[in-house]
Amino acid sequence: MLDELRRLGRVRCSIVSRVQEALLSWFREHGRDLPWRRTRDPYAILVSEVMLQQTQVPRVAPRYLAWLELWPTARALAVAPRDEVIREWQGLGYNRRAVNLHRAAQVIAVSGWPADLTELPGVGRYTADAVDRFAFDEPVLPVDTNVRRVLERTGGAFGPESAAALMDLGATICLARIPRCGVCPLAASCPSRDRRFEPLRKQGRFEGSFRQRRAETLRLVAAGHTTGLDADADAVASLERDGLVEVHAGLAQLPH
């Protein structure tokens, strides 16, 4: 019985190895050439991961390069005025990320990189794992939406070395609703092959939402317009709580 279990274990390991190698072989030929994949600098990778939270790659890539031109190190960002940081972030959405990234840079500049990166402002489990994997070569597999989708559909077991490949497969082949199974390197052994999937619950509409009011209020403040509390008191108060504006004598302005 023990010998049979060992044999089955070896067979399973062999299958897992073949599936992972098929994925990595596909990635070597089809992987995306992204600017943050050309560095192991943890600060640069942190910038990319924070920018990529809920923002598409094509929008992020040029802004990432421009950001690093302005602030190439955590120390450079740490001493930058917050109003400049917020202005530079305009157009990427979810502006609180800019404030958290600025605060994280200040922590790193003073104390260095913590052993647990989730101690940095705005850094959750996935972002911490991504920086650990791509900058520090830690044996962890960062699981974002794309990676989780591939893991759930294939039932596969992949090691940390497959992280970038899984991300690209999920982003370009194993799509949310109609996966491109005909060109997938894992299709032969995938139990979900040729399935179609229900659309995920969409985020509420931006048009007419409170998020839009916040964004518009912040845009006006960043552009130097005088914005009083009577313009949109709720939006101003929300932005103030997030550290995106300061209110003096009833007028909102970017923090310095």
What pLDDT digit, counting tens, does each position of 130-143 carry? Answer: 999 999 999 999 99
Q: Which H or E run contains 97?
A: helix 96-111
What are the chain's domains? Answer: 2-33+142-189 (1.10.1670.10), 41-134 (1.10.340.30), 210-253 (no CATH)
- At 210-247, the pLDDT tens digits run 778 888 888 888 887 655 555 678 888 888 888 888 88
DSSP 5-66: HHHHHHHHHHHHHHHHHHHHHHHHHH----GGGG---HHHHHHHHHHHTTS-HHHHHHHHHH
Q: In the numeric block, which tokens belong to residue 84? A: 């400049």
Which of 8, 27, 11 lies closest to 150 in space, CA to CA?
27
Catalytic residues: 49
d(CA 237, CA 232): 9
Higher pLDDT, 163 or 219: 163
pLDDT at 225: 66
Q: Are 143 and 167 in contact (CB under 8 A)?
A: no
Q: How far apart are the first and last CA of the chain?
A: 70
In this structure, the number of other CB atoms found within 10 A of the CB of residue 7 comes to 10
Q: Tokens in use for 200?
A: 């995920």
- For the record, the structure tokens of 44 come out as 């640069």
One-letter amino acid at 26 equals W
pLDDT at 27: 98
The predicted pLDDT at position 3 comes to 41
pLDDT of residue 224: 74
- Residue 167 CB partners (closer than 8 Å, separation 6+): 144, 146, 147
Region 19-23: mean pLDDT is: 95
User: Which stretch of 69-83, 160-174, 201-215 has the lowest confidence by average pLDDT?
Assistant: 201-215
Q: Which pLDDT does position 255 carry in this prediction?
A: 86
Mean pLDDT of 153-179: 95
Q: What is the pLDDT of residue 10?
A: 41
Exposed, middle or buried, 47 (CB in 10 Å: 0-12/13-18/19+)?
A: buried
Residues pairing with 251 in the sheet: 228, 248
Mean pLDDT on 141-168: 96
Q: Are 59 and 94 in contact (CB under 8 A)?
A: no
Q: Kindly tell me if the per-residue pLDDT of 2 is higher than 90.
A: no
Q: Where are the alpha helices (DSSP H) in 203-256?
A: 210-222, 233-241
Cα–Cα dist 107/124, whole Å: 16
Q: What is the pLDDT of residues 177-186, one digit of tens each?
A: 999 999 999 9
Predicted TM-score (pTM) of the model is 0.84
The per-residue pLDDT for 5 is 34
Q: Which of 6-10, 74-78, 145-149, 168-172 has the lowest mean pLDDT?
A: 6-10
Per-residue pLDDT, 111: 97
pLDDT score, position 229:
53
CA distance 227 to 147: 43
Q: Looking at residue 205, what DSSP letter applies?
A: P
Is pLDDT of 42 > 60? Answer: yes
What would the mean pLDDT of 179-200 be, rounded to a whole number? 91
**Percent of the chain predicted with pLDDT > 70:** 88
For CA atoms 73, 64, 102, 166, give the dihedral sign.
negative
> Would you state the pLDDT for residue 49?
98
Whether residue 15 is predicted with pLDDT greater than 80 in this model: the reply is: no
Query: In this predicted model, what pLDDT tens digit does every residue of 68-117 receive, in sequence order?
Result: 999 999 999 999 999 999 999 999 988 999 999 999 999 999 999 999 99
Query: Which residues 6+ apart lie within 8 Å of 213 measured at CB?
Result: 232, 234, 235
* H-run or E-run covering 251: strand 251-253
